[in-house]
Amino acid sequence: MSRWPRWIAGAALVALPFVYHAPYPLHIAILILIWSFAYTSWSAMGRFGLTSLGHGGFMGTGAYVTALLWNRGGVSPWLGIPVALLAGALLAVLVAYPCFRYRITGHYFALVTLALGGIVLQVITATRDYTGGSLGYTPERYQGGSSLYALQFSGKTTWYLIALAVWAAGLYVWYRVDGSMLRYALEAISEDEDAAAATGVHVTAEKLKITVVSAAMTALAGALYCQYQMFISPDTVSGISVSLQMVFAAVVGGLYVALGPTVGAVITILMAEVLRISVGTRAVGWDNLVYGALLVVFIVFLPKGILGTVLAHRQR
């Protein structure tokens, strides 16, 4: 396939906010980009059968560490975000290393990550004196308006471009992994760990690599979400519904293609917005119900996801 369509699409995406800057659609576009990045991060490991049901834990870590460092220590997000990424990566190592070392795989690994998500959520809620608990938390405004130092911007165009850049970086990581020997190793591991080890793959190390990358990227998504929304709560960045949403969006869009999670984000976020606007507050939580039902349908009938299926058909 020629690279031209890709560059043209990229240029169009960059130009978009300068041509069309109605605040509401732009807000939705930013959310879609941030969540697309989060879903891409999840699928970086999810596509190799490393199913995490606790990525909300990494997202929450990223968001809360960045916000707490800013509010409590006056640490600029320029330093706070790297620290948050490290925290996410460290958390991933703490949980994943014992799992991989002692061969906790498949459903059991998923359950461990589910517990991890739950624990992070509990910690945030329990330390309410610091984190505001379930009421949420707001990073302090820096002298009112926009500031590069505080990574706070009132203009949506700036945020759109930042989110676009991060999203593109996420895709870049996806492609880099896709073209590397790491991908072969992880595919082999997902099919047969013993056989992979017998061909010389250091199973634990390779799995740990992708998990750390995925966790750090997800933490970045959390930090970005925090800086953009200027409000975080356990439910919006760290709850079980966040974790499951990642799984759902990636599966719906297509787990094995680069833009699959992005397609998943477009669909889920637009669906949530439509439900919110058309049915209003009576439908709170309905989106999750619809997600759950659709997830079953997709896993049974369209396991490659929407984009994955479309691309597979075009290849034939």
Partner 1 sequence: MLELTRVRAGYGSFQALFDVSLEVRRGEAVGVIGPNGAGKTTLMRVISGLIRPTAGSIVMERVDLLATPPHRIVEIGIAHVPESRRLFPRMTVEDNLKMGGFLPAARPKARRRFDFVYELFPLLRERRRQLAGSMSGGEQQMCAIGRALMSEPKLLLLDEPSAGLAPVVVDLVFALVQRIRAGGVTVLIVEQNVQQVLRIVDRAYVLKAGSIRAAGAAAELRDSAIIREAYLGV
Q: Does 104 bind partner 1 (CB under 8 A)?
A: no
Q: Does 103 bind partner 1 (CB under 8 A)?
A: no
Least Å distance, CB 46 to partner 1, is: 16
Least Å distance, CB 311 to partner 1, is: 17
At 238, which amino acid appears?
Answer: S
What DSSP assignment string belongs to 58-76? HHHHHHHHHHHHHHHH---
Token pair, residue 27, equals: 């807000």
Q: Is 152 helix (H, G, I), strand (E, B) or coil?
A: strand
Least Å distance, CB 187 to partner 1, is: 6
Stretch that binds partner 1, among 102-110, 183-191, 207-215, 273-281 (CB under 8 A): 183-191
Q: Does 179 bind partner 1 (CB under 8 A)?
A: no
Interface residue with partner 1, options 73, 202, 293, 296 (CB under 8 A): 202
Token pair, residue 6, equals: 């890709």
Q: What is the DSSP code (8-state) at residue 282? A: G
Residue 105: CB partners within 8 Å, gap ≥ 6?
99, 193
C-beta closer to partner 1: residue 12 or 195: 195
C-beta closer to partner 1: residue 140 or 192: 192
Residues 48, 201 contacting (CB under 8 angstroms): no
Q: Does 140 bind partner 1 (CB under 8 A)?
A: no
As a whole number of angstroms, the distance between CA 58 and CA 92 comes to 8
Interface residue with partner 1, options 45, 81, 83, 185 (CB under 8 A): 185
Neighbours of 45 (CB within 10 A): 26
Interface residue with partner 1, options 12, 195, 284, 296 (CB under 8 A): 195
Q: Does 197 bind partner 1 (CB under 8 A)?
A: yes
Helix (H) or strand (E) holding 219: helix 203-229
As a whole number of angstroms, the distance between CA 239 and CA 253 comes to 22
Stretch that binds partner 1, among 3-11, 147-155, 184-192, 230-238 (CB under 8 A): 184-192
C-beta closer to partner 1: residue 14 or 197: 197
Binding site for partner 1 (CB under 8 A): 181, 184-185, 187-188, 191-192, 194-203
